[in-house]
Every structure is written in C-alpha cells, then in structure tokens.
Amino acid sequence: MQPSVPRYEERLTAPRAWWLIAALLGVSGGLVTLPLGTLWMLGGVVAAAALAAVVVSSYGSARIRVVADSLVAGEARIPLTALGTPEVLDPEEARAWRSYKADPRAFMLLRSYVPTAVRIEITDPADPTPYVYLSTRNPEGLAAALTS
C-alpha cells in the first residue's frame, strides 16, 4: 500500500535572525563561564548554544499538511468534512484575528513571524471549536489544497 502524498505541506521554520540570536546566546554562555577557565568557557559556549538551538528548532518545527482527507496542523488532525470554506487573511486581517477578534475557544497554530494566515470555520456541530487559525507563508496554496 502506497502512503498518501500530501496535497500541501509547510513547515513554519524560525527566521534566520533567531538562529543568530541562538549563536549569540552561545557566546554569552562562554563569557559567563570564562572566569572559571578555558574548558569551562568552551563548555559554556557549547551548552548555551545547544540549548538555544533546541528551543529555536522546536518552536520552528510546527507543520501544516493536507493529507488524504485530513488537515494536520501541529498536533491537531481535523477531517476535511468538518471544515468550512477557508478564508485567506492578509497581514492586517491576520493580526486582527490573532488579537482583538480572537475567540479563546479557537484552535490557533500561530507564529508571530509569519504575517499571513488562513482562517477556517469548523462546521461540525459537536465540536465547540469555532474556527481554526493557521499562520502560513502561502495562504492561497493552503486554501486551494483545502478546497480541492
């Protein structure tokens, strides 16, 4: 049996500037441990940089996929039959939906460094979640994959 091929797939990777900050945190770890000696300094650089890299990598590992009959967003797996029509949000509208228009019951996979998003109503009457908000760099492509 052949595994299903995703109709859409995106990873919300962290921006390059965050990796630079992780490297600078490694340098600061070395500076903090410098008075203890050279080996301690090297250990501080490695430990601080590794810890910062793990944090940046885990935050930037969120994925959005449309596979077979489901939308997989982070940890959530939502059947396409439970979704309404996707609404493509420009940066201004996306900011509004993740702030003052947001519903606390909504499922939101948001990343502040991704300016655009897609909002999809949940049509399943048994589900208390009103909508799904997904940050995406390609909102038109995600909306097309959800409607095809």
Q: 55 and 76 share a domain?
A: no
16-27 average pLDDT score: 95
Q: Which two tokens stand for residue 125?
A: 């009457």
Q: 37 and 95 share a domain?
A: no
Long-range contacts of 78-83 (CB under 8 A, 24+ apart): 78/107, 78/122, 78/132, 80/146, 81/124, 82/122, 82/123, 82/124, 82/127, 83/120, 83/121, 83/122, 83/123, 83/132, 83/146
Confidence class of residue 3 from pLDDT cuts 50, 70 and 90? low
Average pLDDT of the residues of the chain = 92
User: Would you say residue 65 lies in a domain?
Assistant: no
Q: 78 and 130 share a domain?
A: yes
Q: 125 and 80 share a domain?
A: yes
- Which residue range forms the structural domain that includes residue 44? 8-59
The reported pTM is: 0.82
Q: What percent of the chain has pLDDT over 70?
A: 97
User: Would you say residue 106 lies in a domain?
Assistant: yes
Q: 87 and 128 share a domain?
A: yes
Q: What percent of the chain has pLDDT over 90?
A: 82
Report how many domains make up the chain. 2
Instruction: Give the pLDDT of residue 59.
Output: 87
Instruction: Give the pLDDT of residue 148.
Output: 80
